[in-house]
Every structure is written in C-alpha cells, then in structure tokens.
Amino acid sequence: MANRKLTLEEVKQREFIKMSELAELNGVRYSTVKYYTELGLLPFEQQGKRLAKKYNREVASKRLKEILKLKGKGKTIPDIINYFISNS
C-alpha cells in the first residue's frame, strides 16, 4: 500500500515532518531546506531504519523564517551562521 501525500493541514498537525513537508509549509524549495540543513542551520533528528531526517515542525519553521528574514536584510550565509552561533 503506497503512502499518500499528507495535506498541508495534516502536516500542520504533526510534531515531526519531512524535509519536503517543511519546504512546502514554508513556501520554499526543497533544495533550500536541504542546503540550510547541510550547513547545520536547521536542526533535525534521524529516525527509523533508514535514518530519515525529521524536523520538529515548530522549531525548524521558526529557524527557517529567521534565516529568510536575515537573507532579506542582505546578510550572507557566513553572517547568518555567525548570527546563530553567537545567539545560541
């Protein structure tokens, strides 16, 4: 039985979501979430046999919005990384 794609409303009810769901929920591309994850800017947990990345919906969405806000202010990726290091 194939897994059906969750609706946006169903995604909003879950505590942990997939990378693609995080992207859709926040109106960004999958590659954007993947890039920020690879830089260590988005926190995730690995679960299951295949160690799939799962994101706490609230925490990751908040962080993603902060990153996008900083990018909108003209901050570079190194600036953003330093911002989160200094504010952790």
- Provide the residue range defining the domain that includes 54: 8-86
CATH code, domain with 80: 1.10.1660.10
| 11 vs 61: which has the higher pLDDT | 61
Task: With respect to residue 52, please indicate whether it lies within any of the assigned structural domains.
Answer: yes
Task: With respect to residue 44, please indicate whether it lies within any of the assigned structural domains.
Answer: yes
Number of structural domains (the chain) is 1
Strand ranges in 1-88 using DSSP code E only, listed in sequence order? 16-17, 45-47, 52-56
pLDDT, one tens digit per residue, over 57-85 is 999 999 999 999 999 999 999 999 999 99
How far apart, in Å, are the Cα atoms of 26 and each of 15, 48, 77? 15, 25, 19
pLDDT, one tens digit per residue, over 40-51 is 999 999 877 788
Task: With respect to residue 45, please indicate whether it lies within any of the assigned structural domains.
Answer: yes
Q: What's the number of CA atoms in the CB half-sphere (13 Å) around residue 2?
A: 2
Residue 52 has pLDDT above 90, yes or no: no
Task: With respect to residue 1, please indicate whether it lies within any of the assigned structural domains.
Answer: no
Give residue 11's pLDDT: 81
Positive or negative: CA dihedral 59, 62, 48, 4 = positive
Task: With respect to residue 81, please indicate whether it lies within any of the assigned structural domains.
Answer: yes
